[in-house]
Amino acid sequence: VIRTLTVFLAVALAAASPALAAQPRTSLPDGEDEVMCPSCKTPLNVAESPQAYRQREYIRSLVAQGLTKEQVKQRLVDEYGQDVLALPEDDGIGLAAYLVPVAAVAGLAALLVLLLPRWRRRARQQPVTAAAAGPTVSDAELRRLDEDLRRHDR
Amino acid sequence: VRRSVVPFVVVAATALVALLVYGLTATGESTTLDDAVVRGERPVAPTRALPKLGGGTGSLADYKGKPVVLNFWASWCEPCEAEAPALRRAQARLKRAGGTVLGVTVQDATPDSQRFAKEHSIDFPSLRDVDGELGKDYGRTGVPETFIIDRDGRVAAISRGQVDDKFFEDNLRRVL
């Protein structure tokens, strides 16, 4: 009985594995906005060109094979090159996309390092202004306040 | 504070303007080959080892000593479809002279390229310019584009667009 059950289980697993492998693990809309149509130089989800249609068909065929989103992207890179990823190039002018933000942050940090001590020094040197010391109250106003409080207590 | 910030702002603005100017000039199309051919010169045809459609690797350099028609194409490109019969006829002519048409697929999935080749009875070899580097060497701006290369590996004629029998009639005899 055990042997029959084992054989049955093995046959069932063997029959089920291709079906499991072909289960879609991603979809066209899921990754369409993360890849480019290389000839149109626009994201695939907004591209309308013969190449974009072909590329969508190709992605659908990969999805039908049960590939994950990352596997689909890798296959697209293998077929269409790095330009298919919605990433700037890492050479020439494309490098600016990576370097400019770093340079901007470094510049701002340098500016803060230079200016913060000055701002602190200036803040320490400034005398306490009248506004910072609070509003002044006249004697007449104080008397009126005392009367109001007394009336309120009664 | 304001006075000490000014130099930073000026430097940053200058750097940004310089970057923009560089970007505009560096990403322009290369017309080096076209200019040389127009002057009547025969510039050296760039070569690169690339994967072959159907497996293995190949290069234009493999055909040294033979006349070659280098044709950039893609299965999704309608003019490529229109020029396929003319390329087939050019291939027959080149074959008799020991040469070949050498296709280069551009931004095209392998199954699509193979289907296109089968549908249009293309019997010449094709390379796959996956990262577009060979295209950059040739100043490619689109598809189709065709380069006639002589036995010394030099560019004799260029077509930046669809070719026909007349183009081959006018230019092939210069390299055969």
Q: Residue A49 pLDDT more than 90?
A: yes
Top mean pLDDT of A5-9, A82-86, B114-118 is at: B114-118
CA distances from A67 to A18, A30, A59, B74, B98 (A): 13, 13, 10, 25, 44
Closest residue of chain A to B106, computed from CA coordinates:
A80
Query: What whole-number distance in Å separates Cα of residue B48 and Cα of residue B140?
Result: 15
- Res. B4: pLDDT tops 70: no
Residues of A in contact with B4 (CB under 8 A): 114-115, 118
What residues in chain A have their Cβ under 8 A from chain B's Cβ atoms? 38-39, 49-51, 53-55, 58, 61, 78-83, 92-93, 96, 100, 103-104, 107, 111, 114-115, 118-119
Of residues B17 and B43, more confidence is placed in B43
Q: What six digits make up the tokens of A87? A: 């990433």
Above 90 in pLDDT, residue A97?
no
Give the one of A81, A92, A111 whose C-beta lies nearest to B130's C-beta.
A81
The predicted structure's pLDDT at residue A86: 81
Among A27-36, B19-28, B151-160, which range has the highest average pLDDT? B151-160
Q: Distance between alpha carbon A125 and the CA centroid of its chain, in Å?
A: 43
Q: Please tell me the predicted confidence (pLDDT) of residue A16.
A: 54
User: B100 to chain A, minimum CA–CA distance in Å?
Assistant: 25
The answer to whether residues A37 and A49 touch, using CB atoms and an 8 Å cutoff, is: yes
Nearest chain A residue (CA) to B5: A111
Closest CA relative to residue A51, chosen from B103, B142, B134, B108: B108
- Please tell me which of the candidates A53, A55, A82 has its beta carbon nearest to residue B131: A82
Confidence of residue B22 (pLDDT cuts 50, 70, 90): confident
Q: What is the dihedral of CA B7, B10, B16, B17, to 10 degrees?
A: -150
- Within 8 A of B110 by CB-CB distance, chain A residues are 79
CA B134/CA B44 separation, integer angstroms: 13
Average pLDDT score over residue span B28-50: 93
Q: Which of B2, B21, B76, B128 is the mutation pick for testing A, counting most A CBs within 10 A? A: B76
On whether the pTM is more than 0.80, the answer is no
Question: What pLDDT score was predicted for residue A128?
Answer: 62
- Output the CA–CA distances (angstroms, integers) from residue A35 to A28, A42, A59, A80, A128, in the order listed: 11, 9, 11, 11, 59
Quote the pLDDT of residue A132.
60
Minimum mean pLDDT range among A51-60, A62-71, A108-117: A108-117
Structure tokens at B113: 């390229």
pLDDT in tens, B79-97: 999 999 999 999 999 999 9
Task: Name the one residue in this structure whose structure tokens are 């303007």.
Answer: B17
Q: What is the pLDDT of residue B61?
A: 97
Q: Is B126 part of the contact surface with chain A (CB cutoff 8 Å)?
A: no
Quick one: pLDDT band at residue A9, thresholds 50, 70, 90? low
> Which of B110, B130, B136, B143 should one mutate to test binding to chain A, selecting the residue with the greatest count of A CBs within 10 A?
B130
B110 interfaces chain A, CB cutoff of 8 Å: yes
